[in-house]
Chain A
Amino acid sequence: MPKWVKPGVFVLCLLPLCFLGYAAASNDLGPDPAERVMHITGEWALRFLVLTLLMSPLRQWTGKSWPLKLRRMLGLYTFFYACVHLVSFGQFFLGWTPELLLEELAERPYIAVGFTAWLLMLPLAITSTKGMQRRLGRNWRRLHRLVYVAAAAASLHLLWISRSDIGEALIYTLVLATLVLWRARAAILPGREGQTRA
């Protein structure tokens, strides 16, 4: 993998945020900008989740190692956009009022599910360093399977918000489900373990 790929991808992944900032600064997010910010950051968190989960299969299909070298960064970007999404919700919709937060978590299951997805990714982000990977050994891989639970929670979060047209939510769910099943199949079928170890 050429040297410029990683920094290149890093900058590319920042573009959605840059554009969101530019649109916000130039008053281009419409009459309800908070809702747009929520929508856009949530969508990008999902897109990065799909990209992250795509890296292992890509390595297998291409036989190249570059997908795995990008996986950590994409995973961290997933978490990053999920954080912006979460902070936006706290800032724009709750105003950091604890009572409102408790009410939302208790009474709006889709918010609790979305929050769960973020919580599940938190330990993955913390243990994403090479040092942690070494220290945790076999357990690192076990721990990071949590990403599949997070993917399920994120899909449910999106499906639950849909009001009448579930098309978009369905597409994300199907893509994520395919990727999760692909991994599950590789783990279940004997003799394939070696190919999917990552």
Chain B
Amino acid sequence: MARRYSIPQIASSEITPEPVYLKRRHFLQVAGLAALPALVGHSSQSAASNVTGGTPLTFNPGSDFNTAETRTPLEDISSYCNFYEFGTDKGDPAKYAHQMTTDPWAIEVSGEVAKPGKLNLEDIVSGFDLEERIYRLRCVEAWSMVVPWVGFPLADLLQRFEPTSDAKYVAFETLHRPSEMRGTRSFTSIIPWPYREGLRMDEAMHPLTLLSVGMYGKTLPNQNGAPVRLVVPWKYGFKSIKSIVKIHLTSKQPATSWQTINSREYGFYSNVNPGVDHPRWSQSRERRLPNTLFDQNWMETQLFNGYQDQVAGLYKGMDLKRNY
């Protein structure tokens, strides 16, 4: 897996200088080809005005959990996204997520906690010890990436609000603001907004479970879930809910979006498991991104996405085929 991108940050020499980029566009226009990309449904790179995030963060590097695998370049992570609030095409979030206002932002924490309340974004970014966590991300669609997140354990945040003994589950909600989220205005979408996710309390308190505010050392682009998102590396990507505005602790298992839409295909747990296929496709393999037409980078999917040593204990005695 020797790749060009084995360095932490994209070297400035790798970035297409703007004049070159513009020149290429100009050539396409002159050649009368500018309209042609539409023919193959190709979504060109987001224009400069669509770029969000990218503010440098102060954080502690290194963590015992980091993988040494080749990281997926920032450009790929931020151009290939599932964030259905902005459309179902992988390129839609990069094109339209800049329409979302992320400042001001606050997370409301409620439910089974001694001190319910709101936490403003400034307090989230400055009030916790940020560290880098390089995790594998396995999408339920059978592709995967390696992402150097910047964040802090969700447990650190939850403890501030003092969960009660009745707090058995944690429910999360994404921002729902139709005026800024064109995907939620689609008449043919079957997702009941806002997007909801949930974890069992012990999953939420697990040291691997991260609230992320950045990647590659800088704040998140909107399409990747700015300003703050969940990262649960041993579960399929859709569990790692983006752009969180509400955290609610409950005694009952909360309803999650994908489970509500199709409980046969998506369970509450949704742990990465090569032995339990999605009803419509196999989960035994994955394509590591980026890949090429000559080599799709197929690799075997690992149980709990390779975090078995850390999390298998959470599910001792559970039938993972039934609790998918």
Contact = CB atoms under 8 A, between A and B. Distances in A.
B190 A166 contact: yes
Contact of B84 (A24, A30, A160, A165): A165
Contact of A30 (B76, B183, B261, B280): B76
B188 A170 contact: yes
Given A19-B39, A108-B280, A33 B293 contact: yes
A115 interface: no
Contacts of B84: 164-165
Interface residues of B, number: 38
A44 B39 CA distance: 9
B79 A31 contact: yes
Interface string B174-217: 00000000010011111100000000000000000000000000
Q: Is the interface of B mostly helix, strand, loop or mixed?
A: loop
A9 interface: no
Nearest to A166: B188
A30 B79 contact: yes
Contacts of B42: 19, 23, 28-29, 36, 40
A30 B76 CA distance: 7
Given A19-B37, A32-B287, A39-B41, A107 B190 contact: no
Nearest to A103: B282
Given A15-B36, A95-B298, A107-B277, A164 B191 contact: yes
B88 A165 contact: yes
B292 interface: yes
Q: Is the interface of A mostly helix, strand, loop or mixed?
A: helix
Interface of A: 15-16, 19-20, 23-24, 28-37, 39-40, 43-44, 92-93, 95, 103-104, 107-110, 160-161, 163-167, 170
Interface of B: 36-37, 39-42, 44, 72-73, 76, 79-80, 84, 88, 90-91, 143, 145, 183, 186-191, 261, 277, 280-282, 287, 289-293, 296, 298
